[in-house]
Amino acid sequence: MYSSYEDWETATRSALRIFDPFSYRPAHFERMIPVCLGEAMNLCARSPLLWRHTVAGEPELVALRGLDRVTGIPGSASLSRRSLPLLLQAFPLRLREMEPDADIGFEKASPMRERDGGSYVLDPNGELLPGAELKLNALHAFRHDLEATHRLTELVFRHDLVEPVVLPTHIVEAYALPDFLVVRPFPDDRLILMEFPPVYWPTVARFLSAQRMSLYAMARLIEQSKGAA
């Protein structure tokens, strides 16, 4: 989804216009989007929440939104903005890298179609305009939980609390899916919660429940795919 970063100052000095998330290609075609713990309950009814390994071999928590990268995300045209992962709500605003202290900038992206007139990022006084503020709030929410997301990922893999998601072989091959992993049912919560401040315990507990519930969405994705037969 990301390929070309532009820093905030450079982008906002130009005549850059931003559009609603569904004007951009990622909302319709990006199968796997990095997510954070706090958005799990909002996403679990539609998207399995899974770990995959990046090219560098590091586990990354993602929402699997669809299987076919060619035909796109089923029903994307009828979704609401709030049903999208935070990084899609924020697009084309982005983090330079997936770290809690990363700079905020822009992906150099043009809309697929201009569903409306778009909006500038700042008004003549240098204040955020409402559309940009919505996107920036979504990005701040993602970044706020990113450290906790990284910590939980490290913990469950270090303590061997994950298990593979077993999918039909023909589905994996037809859609070139990576190996996915989730937290085992009924993990030893003490191994996880003892390394979080108590303020994060509700967020972690809700995520563990949401991830398990999200696996029911996998059957819907398979049924919607051309290879479901």
pLDDT per position in the chain (229 positions), as tens?
Answer: 999 999 999 999 888 899 999 999 999 999 999 999 999 999 999 999 999 999 999 999 999 999 998 888 988 888 898 899 999 999 999 999 999 999 999 999 999 876 667 899 999 898 999 999 999 999 999 999 999 999 999 999 999 999 999 999 999 999 999 999 999 998 888 889 999 999 999 999 999 999 999 999 999 999 887 544 3
Residue 21: CB atoms within 10 Å: 23
Cβ proximity of 60 and 53 under 8 Å: yes
* Residue ranges per structural domain of the chain: 5-228
For residue 135, give the nearest of 149, 148, 147, 118 by alpha carbon: 118
Instruction: Give the predicted TM-score (pTM) of the model.
Output: 0.94
The β-bridge partners of 119 are 18
> In whole angstroms, what is the distance from residue 152 CA to residue 149 CA?
5
Name the residue type at position 183: V
Name the residue type at position 219: A
3-state secondary structure of 178: coil
**Total residue length of the chain:** 229
Cis preceding-peptide flag for 202 (omega within 30 of 0) = no
